[in-house]
Amino acid sequence: MSVPYLSVKSLSREFKAQGRTVRAVDNVSFEIPVGTTFSLVGESGCGKTTLARVIAGLDKPSAGSMLFGAPLDGRVHRTQMIFQDPYASLNPRWRVGDAIAEPITFQNLRPRPTVAGRVEELLTRVGLAAADTAKFPHEFSGGQRQRVSIARALAGEPSFLVCDEPTSALDVSVQAQILNLLKRLEKEEGLTSLFISHNLAVVRFVSSMIGVMYLGRLVEVAPTAELFAAPRHPYTQLLLDAIPRIGQGRRTVSLPAGELPSPLAPPPGCTFHPRCPAAMDICRREAPALRTLDNGVSVACHAVGSGGQPVRFMPGAAHPASSFSLS
């Protein structure tokens, strides 16, 4: 039995915009077992960042609860966040050594005389040189800057890491290196993580469990291997179809037909129904609840049978597609 490190229950975050209410996160529940990585995926605007900010404590929920359990090895619960753009999250006027030292000295985590050594150790752990401590952020490449951000996050001795699109701004060749580094460090440090990405191919590599979000709601939650082997929700199937095949040599991929509806005026019933190849009458009237199936899978779809057996709703590329660029 896995012990949850984070239990999110019926969490919602609403914003007022143009006199109306945007449900950026709408009644979301999931658990992250201690020492594992849970990923949230979905198109831009589905609420991933809002949910991540609430969980990281940078924003307050409108409703619902989050409960953190005990970290591994009896450590203290501390959250650190890694963002998409390391250049924006590092002060350009600070030497990286000072940026990495700041969380240590601010929280009094190590005796003062040992801080410089700890900074050098962290730099080498993320694949940089101890001597890089004197450099400024602009002297690094994008991938190296993200390594600095990771070193800075580790300096705060987190038990919980929130990574919001940490590789989206990087060249494809560098993305794999940063993902490898994150995966290795999370394992070595016994971290529990929440990972956010629009790219299922990226989260496959780092996650134990994946939650697929659509317009503020979770539509499918499954162990990573199960999600890729037997996706239940039509939206998950279409996202999987959109992953470029190896050797295809293109970076523009197909996504479900039509645009993501405005969260200011979401469609009635299942909010995915206007784009769904499997939509039935009930889908236009009733929002499906997230049901728990076998194998740790949960799905919110009227068209998935009560046994939850995978049904292929859409054979590959037969649907008209909008496109976006994988970054």
CB 5 within 8 A of CB 69: yes
Token look-up 């996050």 returns 153
Residue 263 interacting with ligand ATP (CB under 6 A): yes
Residue with Cβ nearer ligand ATP (69 or 261): 261
Residue type at position 58: L
Which of 24, 119, 270, 301 is the binder for ligand ATP (CB under 6 A)? 24
Which H or E element spans position 21?
strand 20-33
Residue with Cβ nearer ligand ATP (22 or 55): 22
What is the SS3 assignment for 114-154? Answer: HHHHHHHHHHHHCCCCHHHHHCCHHHCCHHHHHHHHHHHHH
x-or-dash pattern for ligand ATP, window 98-117, by CB under 6 A? --------------------
User: What stretches of 225-299 adopt beta strand conformation (E)?
Assistant: 252-255, 291-292, 298-299
Residue 197 interacting with ligand ATP (CB under 6 A): no
Please state the closest distance from residue 45 (CB atom) to ligand ATP, in A: 4
- CB contact set of 286 (below 8 Å; sequence gap of 6+): 269, 270, 302
Which of 47, 71, 231, 308 is the binder for ligand ATP (CB under 6 A)? 47
Distances (CA, A) of 292 to 97, 138, 211: 47, 48, 13
Residue 167 interacting with ligand ATP (CB under 6 A): no
Residue 17 interacting with ligand ATP (CB under 6 A): yes
Residue 46 interacting with ligand ATP (CB under 6 A): yes
Residue 45 interacting with ligand ATP (CB under 6 A): yes
Residue 260 interacting with ligand ATP (CB under 6 A): no
Q: How far apart are CA 87 and CA 138, in angstroms?
A: 8
Identify which of 198, 237, 219 has the alpha carbon closest to the alpha carbon of residue 41. Answer: 198
Residue with Cβ nearer ligand ATP (144 or 236): 236
Stretch near ligand ATP under the rule CB under 6 A, chosen from 44-52, 133-141, 151-159, 203-211 = 44-52
Please state the closest distance from residue 321 (CB atom) to ligand ATP, in A: 19
Please state the closest distance from residue 223 (CB atom) to ligand ATP, in A: 22
Residue 50 interacting with ligand ATP (CB under 6 A): yes
Residue 22 interacting with ligand ATP (CB under 6 A): yes
Residue with Cβ nearer ligand ATP (47 or 97): 47
Please state the closest distance from residue 58 (CB atom) to ligand ATP, in A: 12
Q: How far apart are CA 302 and CA 279, in angstroms?
A: 8
Residue 176 burial (CB count, 10 A):
13
Residue with Cβ nearer ligand ATP (223 or 266): 266
Instruction: Tell me, by CB under 6 A, how many residues bind ligand ATP.
Output: 14
Q: Which SS3 state, helix, strand or coil, does residue 284 take?
A: helix
- CB contact set of 155 (below 8 Å; sequence gap of 6+): 100, 101, 102, 103, 104, 109, 118, 119, 122
Stretch near ligand ATP under the rule CB under 6 A, chosen from 39-47, 63-71, 100-108, 144-152 = 39-47
Residue with Cβ nearer ligand ATP (29 or 327): 327
Q: How far apart are CA 202 and CA 229, in angstroms?
A: 16
Binding site for ligand ATP (CB under 6 A): 15, 17, 22, 24, 42, 44-50, 198, 263
